[in-house]
C-alpha cells in the first residue's frame, strides 16, 4: 500500500510535465502595457495612485480581449491558484534551483531533449486524429533522425533539416478543439495549474500516450518492478520544473491580478495552438 500511495503521489507531480506542452508559448502572451497606459503614466509622473490605476485599467482591458473562457468556478479556482502558488514558492522553486545547481545547462538540455523525443506517440497520434497526415510523417521523420542520429534523442539533429525543424506541438486537447469540442469551464488543477474541462480530459489522453508512463501500467499488470515505475515519472517532473517556474514567473510578473493574468495567457495560448 505504501508503494501504491507513493507512486500515485509522484504520478500527480509527474503530470506537470504535460502542461509544458500546453503552455510553452504562454510566456509570449504575458500582459504588456499599451500606448494608452504609457501616455497616462507619463502624464501623472508624480502621482503614484493615478499611475497604479492607469496600469490596472490597461491590464483589465488586455484581459477583456483574451479569448472567451467561462469561469463559473472562479472562487474555487482562485483558492486552488493560491495553494499552487504556495507550492511553487516553497517546494517546486527550491527543487528547481537545486536541480539547476547540480546539473549544468547542457546536461539538462540533453535530458529535456530525450524526454521530448520519447513523446513521439502523443504527437503522431494527435496529428493523425486531426487529419494532419503530412505533419504526422514529419513527426515520424524527426523521431527517427533524433533517435538514431541524436543518441536516443539527447541531441536534436532534426533541427538542422528545414522540413523537420520547429514543428508545432500537438496534444489530445488540441485534437478535441479541432473537432469542435468547446473548452467548457475554466479550471485550476492542483499542482498542474490552468486548464479547462476539455483540456483536463486531454491531459489523460496525453498521459496514456506518453511512453514515460507505460511502466506504471505494466507494474499494475505484473505487480513487479516497483522501483522502476517510480523513476521515469519522477525524472520527468524534475526536468520540467525549471521551465515551469520560469513560465509562471513570466506570466505573473508585475501583474495587478496574477490569477487573471495566468487565465488570460492560458486561454490565448490554447486558442493559438488549436489554429496551427
**Residuewise pLDDT in 10s, the chain (276 residues):** 444 444 444 444 444 444 444 333 333 333 333 444 344 444 444 443 343 334 344 444 444 445 568 999 999 999 999 999 999 999 999 999 999 999 999 999 999 999 999 999 999 999 999 999 999 999 999 999 999 999 999 999 999 999 999 999 999 999 999 999 999 999 999 988 999 999 999 999 999 999 988 876 555 555 555 555 556 667 778 888 898 899 899 988 889 999 999 999 999 999 999 988
Q: Is residue 15 part of a domain?
A: no
The C-alpha cell at 273 is 495552438
Whether this prediction's pTM lies above 0.85 is answered by no
Q: Is residue 39 part of a domain?
A: no
Report if residue 62 sits inside a domain: no
Distance (Å, whole) CA 156 – CA 57: 44
d(C-alpha 162, C-alpha 167), whole Å: 10
Does residue 46 form part of some domain? no
Q: Is the residue at 37 inside a domain?
A: no
In a domain, 261, yes or no: yes
Q: How far apart are CA 246 and CA 249, in angstroms?
A: 5
Radius of gyration of the chain (CA): 20
What are the tens digits of pLDDT across the range 246-269? 989 998 888 999 999 999 999 999
User: Does residue 248 belong to any structural domain of this protein?
Assistant: yes
Give 186's strand partners. Answer: 196
With cell 539527447, the residue in question is 154
196-220 pLDDT, tens digit each: 999 999 999 999 999 988 876 555 5
Supply the range of the domain harboring residue 79: 2-7+69-275
Residue 140 lies in a domain: yes
> What is the pLDDT at residue 214?
83
Count: domains in the chain: 1
> CB of 219 within 8 A of CB of 229?
yes
Amino acid at each position: 500500500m505504501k508503494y501504491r500511495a507513493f507512486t500515485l503521489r509522484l504520478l500527480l507531480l509527474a503530470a506537470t510535465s504535460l502542461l509544458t506542452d500546453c503552455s510553452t508559448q504562454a510566456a509570449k502572451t504575458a500582459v504588456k502595457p499599451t500606448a494608452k497606459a504609457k501616455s497616462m503614466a507619463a502624464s501623472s509622473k508624480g502621482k503614484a495612485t493615478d499611475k497604479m490605476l492607469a496600469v490596472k485599467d490597461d491590464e483589465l482591458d488586455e484581459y477583456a480581449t483574451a479569448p472567451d473562457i467561462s469561469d463559473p468556478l472562479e472562487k474555487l479556482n482562485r483558492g486552488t491558484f493560491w495553494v499552487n502558488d504556495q507550492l511553487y514558492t516553497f517546494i517546486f522553486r527550491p527543487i528547481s534551483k537545486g536541480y539547476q545547481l547540480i546539473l549544468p545547462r547542457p546536461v539538462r538540455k540533453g535530458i529535456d531533449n530525450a524526454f521530448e523525443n520519447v513523446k513521439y506517440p502523443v504527437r503522431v497520434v494527435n496529428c493523425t486524429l486531426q487529419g494532419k497526415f503530412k505533419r504526422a510523417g514529419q513527426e515520424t521523420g524527426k523521431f527517427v533522425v533524433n533517435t538514431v542520429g541524436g543518441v536516443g534523442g539527447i541531441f536534436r539533429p532534426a533541427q538542422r533539416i528545414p522540413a523537420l525543424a520547429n514543428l508545432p506541438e500537438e496534444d489530445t486537447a488540441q485534437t478535441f478543439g479541432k473537432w469542435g469540442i468547446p473548452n467548457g469551464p475554466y479550471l485550476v488543477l492542483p499542482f498542474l495549474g490552468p486548464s479547462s474541462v476539455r483540456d483536463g480530459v486531454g491531459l489523460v489522453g496525453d498521459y496514456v500516450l506518453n511512453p514515460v508512463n507505460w511502466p506504471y501500467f505494466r507494474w499494475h499488470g505484473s505487480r513487479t518492478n516497483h522501483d522502476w515505475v517510480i523513476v521515469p515519472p519522477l525524472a520527468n517532473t524534475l526536468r520540467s520544473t525549471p521551465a515551469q517556474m520560469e513560465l509562471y514567473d513570466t506570466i505573473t510578473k508585475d501583474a495587478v491580478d496574477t490569477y487573471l493574468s495566468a487565465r488570460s495567457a492560458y486561454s490565448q495560448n490554447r486558442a493559438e495552438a488549436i489554429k496551427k
